[in-house]
Amino acid sequence: MITLTHVTKQFDRIHYGLNDVSFHIEAGEFVFLTGPSGAGKSTLLKLLFRDAVPSTGEVQVAGHRLSIMPLREIPLLRRKLGVVFQDFKLIRTLTVFENVAFVLKILGVSHMEQRQRAFRALKMVGLQHKLSSYPLQLSGGEQQRVAIARALVNDPLVLLADEPTGNLDPDLANEIMSLFERINGQGTTVIVATHDKPMILKMRKRVLGLERGRLSWDQPAPASTVVV
Ligand SMILES: Nc1ncnc2c1ncn2[C@@H]1O[C@H](COP(=O)(O)OP(=O)(O)OP(=O)(O)O)[C@@H](O)[C@H]1O
Ligand SMILES: [Mg+2]
């Protein structure tokens, strides 16, 4: 589903966002991306949804070769992805419902279907009762959950999330991770960038570790103990 081959992202002569990073993620995997602040986690996610292009190397996502992909193909790629940003990026002047349904509206989905799918996505994050609120009337955690509903509304092949639990209390963070697990169980490839070490340990998934732009480890999910 995702392959990086010798990917480097250089911002200027001495600053690297990523430095010679290669890995492969199969369809249906759940992968954590971790590493200290400034390690390159957000830079990597940006390359995956073609918000940035590598300086050298090849990024392949869902059958698209991003380095040779014409600009007109970007919407096709993004239609297959759901992205949860570090800073939510909700539109203040739109209600919760409108924020979640926005992408469907752009895709020309009927009003009735927009309502059904936005409602279903909001129900998944437990916010169906906040349909008519505006983002600034919500807590940080609630805004984060709206951002997650928005990423899920289009049934993406791949869900990319940048620090999705950074603003949440531990119970809510656990709930969001369970939600991601459920989504992953339905076949969606999930990639979560986070600093949250206890969460990573608890979840027992594959972990990619970045340090100063380099992939410093790739730890497979621990084998599950089969209880007969
Ligand atoms: N547009 C840019 N121009 C110059 N340098 C940048 C740019 N974007 C990121 N960087 C640098 O690239 C490095 C990686 O940044 P990135 O945002 O990917 O880190 P991160 O791992 O997501 O950190 P955090 O955990 O704080 O979110 C940092 O040193 C950052 O300063
Ligand atoms: Mg970041």
Please state the rounded mean pLDDT for residues 55-72. 94
Lowest-confidence pick of 8-22, 39-53, 93-107, 212-226:
212-226
Average pLDDT taken over every residue of the chain:
93
Q: Whose CA is nearest to atom 29 of ligand 1?
A: 38
Q: Whose CA is nearest to atom 24 of ligand 1?
A: 37
Q: Whose CA is nearest to atom 28 of ligand 1?
A: 38
Q: Does position 227 have pLDDT exceeding 70, yes or no?
A: no
Q: Whose CA is nearest to atom 26 of ligand 1?
A: 37
Residue matched to tokens 């380099």: 214
Which conformational region is residue 56 in: left (phi greater than 0), alpha (psi within -120 to 50 degrees), or beta? beta
pLDDT confidence of residue 171: 86
Residue of 217, 155, 164, 211 lying closest to 191 (CA atoms): 164
| Domain coordinates in residue numbering, the chain | 1-80+159-170+179-228, 86-155
Top mutation candidate among 41, 160, 163 for ligand 1, by most atoms within 8 Å of CB: 41
Cβ density class 191-228: b for 16+ within 10 Å, e for less = bbbbebeebbeebebbbbbbeebebeeeeeeeeeeeee
Give per-residue pLDDT as tens, 8-24: 999 988 888 999 999 99
Which atom number of ligand 1 is nearest to the Cα of residue 193? 22
Q: What is the pTM of this model?
A: 0.92
Please state the rounded mean pLDDT for residues 184-201. 94
Q: Does position 225 have pLDDT exceeding 70, yes or no?
A: no
Q: Answer for the pair 228, 60: CB distance below 8 angstroms, yes or no.
A: no
pLDDT confidence of residue 64: 96
Q: What tokens were used for 41? A: 């986690």
**What superfamily in CATH does domain 1-80+159-170+179-228 come from?**
P-loop containing nucleotide triphosphate hydrolases (3.40.50.300)
* Rounded Cα distance, 169 and 52, in Å: 31
Top mutation candidate among 9, 15, 200 for ligand 1, by most atoms within 8 Å of CB: 15
% of residues, the chain, pLDDT over 90:
79
How far is ligand 1, taken at its centre, from the CA of residue 228, in Å? 46
How far is ligand 1, taken at its centre, from the CA of residue 44, in Å? 10
> Between vectors from CA 20 to CA 30 and to CA 12, what angle results, nearest 5°?
115
Higher-pLDDT residue of 172, 113: 113
Question: How confident is residue 169, by pLDDT bands cut at 50, 70 and 90?
Answer: confident
Which atom number of ligand 1 is nearest to the Cα of residue 11? 4
Q: Does position 167 have pLDDT exceeding 70, yes or no?
A: yes
Residue of 182, 160, 169, 205 lying closest to 43 (CA atoms): 160
Please state the rounded mean pLDDT for residues 103-110. 90
* Rounded Cα distance, 150 and 88, in Å: 10
Which atom number of ligand 1 is nearest to the Cα of residue 39? 21
Q: Whose CA is nearest to atom 10 of ligand 1?
A: 17
Q: Does position 87 have pLDDT exceeding 90, yes or no?
A: no
Q: What is the DSSP string of 175-186?
A: HHHHHHHHHHHT
Helix or strand or coil: residue 43? helix
Which residue type sits at 226?
V
Please state the rounded mean pLDDT for residues 37-50. 96
Please state the rounded mean pLDDT for residues 27-54. 96
Lowest-confidence pick of 14-18, 135-139, 186-190:
14-18
Q: Answer for the pair 2, 206: CB distance below 8 angstroms, yes or no.
A: no
